[in-house]
Every structure is written in C-alpha cells, then in structure tokens.
Chains A and B, each alone.
Chain A
Amino acid sequence: MYLSTIIEAVSAWAAQEPKIYALAIGLIGAAIISAVINIGAMAVVWLERKFLGDIQARFGPNRVGSRWGLLQLGADAIKLFTKEDSIPRGADKPVYVWAPIIASITTMLVAAAIPFGALRIDGKDYPLVVANMDISAFYVEAALSIMTIAVFMAGFSSNNKYSMLGAFRGIARMIAYEVPMGVCVIAVALMAHSLNLVEIVESQTLWYAFAQPLGFIVFTIALVTDLGRIPFDQSEAEEEIIAGYTTEYGGIRWGLLYFQEYINMLLGSILLVLLFLGGWKGPSIPLITVLSPMVWFLMKVLIVLIFLIWVRGSLVRFRIDQVTDLGWKWMLPLSLVNLAWAAFVGLYFA
C-alpha cells in the first residue's frame, strides 16, 4: 500500500537528518496538537455541561446553535474575549499575569509526550506521538505536577486571603497524592518493563486495570485529585472559600485558567486509558482498518471522561483534612502493596 511507502521514506529521512526531522515534527505537531487539545477541551466543557444537566434533571445549554446548545462555547469565548481586562489592586502583577501562561505551558508540555491514538497500516500500529521518549511516562507525570505551581502562583499573587487558602490546599493535595500516583506509574512500568508510553500500551495483552486492579483504583483516585475535580476540588471550593485561587481572576485570564483545567482533564483521561485500559489496542474493524485503533482509543477516552463527569455529578466534596488523610494513610500504603504485587508478577510471570 502507498501509505507504508510514505512512512518508510519519512523514517529513512528521519534517520538521516534526526535534528531537522525533530524540528519539523515539533513545529507541525505543536500547531496541530494545540488546536486538537483546545477544541477537545471545548468539547469536554460542552459534554460536561450537557451531561451534568441530564444527571440533575435539567436542560444543559440548549439555545445557542439551534440544537443541543452546540455553539454555547463559542458564545462564551466571544464573551470572555470582549470583557474588560481588570487586575485587582495590590496584586503581585508579574506573578498574576504569568499564572495562566504557566498553566498553558504545562498542558502543552504534557501533550508533547502523550500519544493521541494510532493508525493501523498493514497490520502495524503507528502511534500519533510527537516526542516518543524512552521515559515518557515519567516525563508526563512530572509535567502534570507543574500545574500545581500555576495554581499556587494564581492564589499567591491575588492579594486575597481566600485565594491564598485555595493555593495552600492545592499544594497540600498535590503532595499527598503525587507519591501514590508515581508509585502506580512505576508499578505499570514494572509489568511493561519500560517507561515508554507506546511500549506500555503495546505490552498490554491483558489490560493493566485487570492485571493490577488495586493500582488502577489508586491511580484513578490520585488522577481525580490531581485534576482537582469534585470530590477533591478543595482548592476552589465555592461554598467555603469563594472560588479559591480563581477568585480575583476575571475575563480572559480566568478563561485561560479554567480552560487549562479542562485540557488537563482530557490529557489525564488519555493517560489513564494509555496506562491501564489498553490504549488503542483492539481488533481491526473492516472497511476502516486504518482508523480502527483510533475508534477504540476515542471510545475509551470518552468513557473515562463520562465517568469523571458522573463522579462530579454524584459525589460530595471531602474536607481538606479527610483528603490529606486519605492520601497519606490509605493511598500511599495501598500503592506500595500494589507495587509489591507488580514486582512479583513482573518478575515471575512476564
């Protein structure tokens, strides 16, 4: 088939000129992926509003765009872009301005190493990933935690006690769940004998969600915490501390911070699918063989997203002391138990 000829020619050229190839794929990838994650996050925001509306037996957005409120997000974007850009008096201006930018850089850094599905050409899966590093699982986990710094910058610079409290809570939550999350990633890598996300996906003949159920549960909880979504959204709990670290943000600056959270949610769901749910692996579908890994992958991501929204719709918020207790006294020991299990299985059965 001609597609495989093109891929062979490109990889031959890439082997010859690795630097120029890296530069080219970086430029093209940055443009495409920043568009994809932004549009994807818009879709996630719309999905969440619509699905939450269904859960709470009310209509979600249903006016703009004639059907299902499809253009609601466009209307919101126009509103945010035309609002006055006001910075509160006494704010630490450089930090205040840079917090949303740091958040945006974080999501782009994560997106650089995450495979967005794969294409199946002549029975071989070609992952759609820009930086396919040997340590991409470690890198993604490290880059995800930079988000906390953006949260702290936003809370610290706002000249507001409630924002500051939100920032403290964000940090406390991050440090309580960072370790269990890292240990779960290590447990997956132990079974896969690799830290490369593509190799981790390819090694999953049995999904790691079944091979290490405990790790799957701990990682999911740690991920929800890392994303700061409802049972764990103490850093912006609107009933207790106004709006947490986003209180003093308005207009487009708030829009940027809010949007990065949804991009993070999308990337986190993709990470969960890659690590534990078999990524794009699945049987070929006739007629669209090339796209069949993509179909499986997007289906799983959609299920995880809906699960996250469902959790938000049905659970109530924990107190902050309960959250840190859960992290240190339950999640961390459980993740170590799971690590022992993964080391045992990885050594004698893999």
Chain B
Amino acid sequence: MTGEPLAVDYYIPIILFLVMGAIVPIVALAAVKIISPLRPNRRKASVYEGGLKPVRDPKIRFNVQYYLFAIVFVIFDVEVLFLYPWIYVYASEFMKRFVIFGFINMAVIEMVLFIAVLVVGLLYAIKKEALRWV
C-alpha cells in the first residue's frame, strides 16, 4: 500500500460484513416462509424437552457459586486487556530507556509483578474451592 489509510476506514468493510451476516439468514428464513408448508397446531407447537410432559418452570435458577466463576473471569479478562497494549510497549524504543543492569526490562518486571499478584489470587480462589463446579 502506498498510502496510509485512516484506522476508521478498515471498519467500513466490517459494518458491511455485519449487514451481510444478517441478510443471509433472513433471506433463508424468507425463502422457507415461501416454499415450506405451514400448518401449525397445538400438539406441534408444544415443547419437546426430554420427550415427556414438561414439569415445572423451565426458567431454572442457577447456583450462586457460578457468580464466583464470573468474577474470576472478569478479573482475568481485564488482565488480558492490559496485556494487549503492553505488546506494543515492552520492546519499543521508549522502554529501552528503562533497562537496568543492561538487560532487565522494567516493562517486563512490571508485568511479572502484575500477573504474580493475580496468580496468587487464582491460587487463593482454587484453594477456597471457588472454582469447583457444583
């Protein structure tokens, strides 16, 4: 490429792809509406479930323990989000000014500390059986 397109320009095709992704199934559903027979009745529309008559409310509750999974996930996902910009920084010219003893990169040291704190948290969560499926 000779020119340097704006970052925004890359997202124009993505919007078009999003629209295309919606059009394909909608066209398929419309085609089915035209060519397939439609004779609904009460028995046909009943829920299949396990092949027996459904009992109780299908909107089942889930165990409160699963919230712990969600919380640990959010913490580690944010960690991953912090790692993405770090990729560009850690080997850059700018970070070369923060090298001690000639080879220890401070960006790496900082990330090691950051991940170490989170790993301790993960070990604690495992020890407390927060990540046990019930």
Interface residues of A (CB under 8 A from B): 11-12, 14-16, 18-19, 21-23, 25-27, 29-31, 33-34, 38, 81-90, 97, 100-101, 104-109, 111-113, 130-135, 138, 158-165, 168, 172, 175-176, 178-179, 182-183, 186, 189-190, 193, 195, 242, 247-248, 251-253, 255-256, 320-321, 324-325, 328-329, 332-333, 336, 339-340, 343, 346-348, 350
Contact assessment for B25 and A82 in the assembled complex, using a CB-CB cutoff below 8 Å: no
Contact assessment for B72 and A328 in the assembled complex, using a CB-CB cutoff below 8 Å: yes
The answer to the question of B117 belonging to the interface, with a C-beta cut-off of 8 Å to chain A, is: no
The answer to the question of B120 belonging to the interface, with a C-beta cut-off of 8 Å to chain A, is: no
In the complex, which residue of chain B has the Cβ closest to the Cβ of A336? Answer: B115
Residues of B26-69 whose CB lies within 8 A of A: 26, 28-29, 31-33, 35-40, 42, 44-51, 54, 56, 58-60, 62, 66, 69
Contact assessment for A101 and B13 in the assembled complex, using a CB-CB cutoff below 8 Å: no
Contact assessment for A85 and B10 in the assembled complex, using a CB-CB cutoff below 8 Å: no
Contact assessment for A248 and B77 in the assembled complex, using a CB-CB cutoff below 8 Å: no
Contact assessment for A112 and B17 in the assembled complex, using a CB-CB cutoff below 8 Å: yes
A-B pairs under 8 A by CB, number: 237
In whole angstroms, how far apart are the Cα atoms of A178 and B74 in the complex?
11
Contact assessment for A186 and B91 in the assembled complex, using a CB-CB cutoff below 8 Å: no
In whole angstroms, how far apart are the Cα atoms of A176 and B76 in the complex?
10
In the complex, which residue of chain A has the Cβ closest to the Cβ of B28? Answer: A252
B1-18 near A? 1/0 per residue, CB < 8 Å = 111111101111111111
In the complex, which residue of chain A has the Cβ closest to the Cβ of B63? Answer: A168
Q: How far is the CB of B25 from chain A (nearest CB, A)?
A: 5
In whole angstroms, how far apart are the Cα atoms of A340 and B112 in the complex?
8
Q: Would you call the interface of chain B mostly helix, strand, loop, or mixed?
A: helix
Contact assessment for B2 and A12 in the assembled complex, using a CB-CB cutoff below 8 Å: yes
Contact assessment for B7 and A133 in the assembled complex, using a CB-CB cutoff below 8 Å: yes
Q: Number of contacting residues on B, CB 8 A? A: 77
Contact assessment for A162 and B5 in the assembled complex, using a CB-CB cutoff below 8 Å: no
Interface residues of B (CB under 8 A from A): 1-7, 9-22, 24-26, 28-29, 31-33, 35-40, 42, 44-51, 54, 56, 58-60, 62, 66, 69-70, 72-73, 76-77, 79-80, 83-84, 87-88, 90-91, 103, 105, 108, 111-112, 115, 119, 122, 126, 131-133
Q: Which of B45, B77, B84, B111 contacts A179 (CB 8 A)?
A: B77
Contact assessment for A329 and B131 in the assembled complex, using a CB-CB cutoff below 8 Å: yes
Chain A residues within 8 Å of B38, by CB: 84-85
Contact assessment for A30 and B47 in the assembled complex, using a CB-CB cutoff below 8 Å: no
Contact assessment for B45 and A89 in the assembled complex, using a CB-CB cutoff below 8 Å: yes
Known: A105-B22, A182-B83. 11 other contacts (CB 8 A): A15-B1, A26-B17, A27-B16, A82-B35, A108-B17, A108-B18, A172-B66, A242-B49, A332-B122, A340-B112, A343-B90
In whole angstroms, how far apart are the Cα atoms of A256 and B103 in the complex?
54
Contact assessment for A248 and B31 in the assembled complex, using a CB-CB cutoff below 8 Å: no
Contact assessment for B76 and A248 in the assembled complex, using a CB-CB cutoff below 8 Å: no
In whole angstroms, how far apart are the Cα atoms of A148 and B9 in the complex?
28
Q: Which of A88, A130, A162 contacts B17 (CB 8 A)?
A: A130
Question: 23 pairs across A/B with beta carbons < 8 Å?
Answer: A11-B2, A18-B9, A26-B15, A26-B17, A29-B16, A34-B20, A82-B35, A84-B39, A90-B47, A101-B22, A108-B17, A108-B18, A113-B14, A130-B17, A133-B10, A162-B49, A179-B73, A183-B83, A186-B80, A190-B87, A193-B87, A333-B119, A343-B111
Contact assessment for B13 and A25 in the assembled complex, using a CB-CB cutoff below 8 Å: yes
In whole angstroms, how far apart are the Cα atoms of A161 and B58 in the complex?
5
